[in-house]
Amino acid sequence: MAARADRLPVTRPRPLDPLGLGLATLTCVVWGSNGVGARIGAASVPPWTLAALRAWLGFAILALILLWRRPRLPRSRTAWERAALIGLLQTTAPVGLLFWAVQRVDAGLAMVMMSTQPLFVAALLQRWSGGERLSRARLATLGAGFAGVALVAYAKTSGELRFEWPGLVALLLGSLSWAGGTLLLRRPGPEWRDVTSLVTVQLGFGAVVLTVLASFEHPRLEAFTLPAIASVVYLAVFTTAFTFLLWAWLVQRHGASRISPFVFLMPVAGVALGALLLGERIPPLLYPGLALVASSLVLVNRV
């Protein structure tokens, strides 16, 4: 029997179907706008404050859904500790570090660096497979995808594009944290059978930590300009509440090894939106890199 979209499946990951393909593509294309949205918001609002506001507004939206649906929440301490760890790895570190780094790295390059997440997932799966096996053919295909990402990164960092090495390191750490959170998200425990509940709680835990970090920034009221407020609303609704739910459901339904490679699509959206909205340059080498990424994405779900 097919699992309902609001329940965490308990069966082994299933092959990717048209529904999963469409939702995974949509999720990662929307996430590709994170860099642009963060750059717009962080132009006036400090990064950790921006990340905390995004997380709290996303949490509030999902909490309203929980109040309406009233699902049964876990009672054990272990279940809540696991949700807190997922929140730290899946929300606090990747979101906060991304928002901090986009002040120091080109928006398109930021999405390229975050798209190394599938490689970290593949590396972690060698130690914690959880029933997911990566064949040599799939590993080679991921390598081809990474080559495309590397080509995009080279194209974006050549010339006069602005970037700072601490920003690149922060993005890689955020990507690694996201990979670890994704693996934990596959099997959060028998008590977390409702996707909305799990995502809401982990987002709440992540928001608390982000708020602690943001408490050192002390932004002024005039920092919250109309573009900054619009950025927070967009990031909270679309790149947080909506896509976090889709990501959790997709990872549980199809497995981390099949869904994570869709992260390679993030640079496509990130680079395109960076050029469209921020006037960033698109170098010629970008196109073969994106073609290699797209080819890898198709092949990794066929071998």
Look up residue 88 and give its two tokens.
């730290």
Structural domain for 137, as ranges:
18-300
Residue 1 reports pLDDT greater than 60:
no
Where does the pLDDT of residue 206 fall: very low under 50, low under 70, confident under 90, or very high at 90 and above? Answer: very high
* Per-residue pLDDT at 3: 44
Percentage of the residues of the chain whose pLDDT score is greater than 90:
39
For residue 6, being part of any structural domain is answered with no
* Per-residue pLDDT at 301: 65
* Per-residue pLDDT at 266: 81
User: In the chain, how many domains are there?
Assistant: 1
* Per-residue pLDDT at 48: 93
* Per-residue pLDDT at 292: 82
Identify the residue whose tokens are 């393909």: 21
For residue 96, being part of any structural domain is answered with yes
Residue 8 reports pLDDT greater than 60:
no
Name the residue with higher pLDDT: 4 or 30.
Answer: 30
Where does the pLDDT of residue 5 fall: very low under 50, low under 70, confident under 90, or very high at 90 and above? Answer: very low
- Burial label for 43, CB within 10 Å (0-12, 13-18, 19+), is middle
Lowest mean pLDDT among 117-126, 176-185, 284-293: 284-293
For residue 12, being part of any structural domain is answered with no
- Burial label for 181, CB within 10 Å (0-12, 13-18, 19+), is buried
* Per-residue pLDDT at 162: 63
Name the residue with higher pLDDT: 286 or 263.
Answer: 263
For residue 7, being part of any structural domain is answered with no
For residue 196, being part of any structural domain is answered with yes
- Over range 13-34, report the average pLDDT: 87
* Per-residue pLDDT at 157: 60
Name the residue with higher pLDDT: 285 or 175.
Answer: 175
How many angstroms separate the CA atoms of 145 and 40, rounded?
29
* Whether 98 contacts 48, CB under 8 Å: no
* Whether 162 contacts 102, CB under 8 Å: no
**pTM strictly above 0.85:** no
For residue 73, being part of any structural domain is answered with yes
* Per-residue pLDDT at 108: 63
* Per-residue pLDDT at 191: 87
- Over range 49-78, report the average pLDDT: 93
- Over range 276-280, report the average pLDDT: 71
State the amino acid at position 59 in one-letter form.
F
Residue 27 reports pLDDT greater than 70:
yes
Lowest mean pLDDT among 67-71, 113-117, 135-139: 135-139
How many angstroms separate the CA atoms of 198 and 180, rounded?
16
For residue 8, being part of any structural domain is answered with no
Mean pLDDT, the chain, integer:
84
* Whether 155 contacts 281, CB under 8 Å: no
- Burial label for 303, CB within 10 Å (0-12, 13-18, 19+), is exposed
How far is CA 177 from each of CA 36, 72, 199, rounded to the nearest angstrom? Answer: 21, 29, 16
Residue 130 reports pLDDT greater than 70:
no
Residue 11 reports pLDDT greater than 60:
no
For residue 260, being part of any structural domain is answered with yes
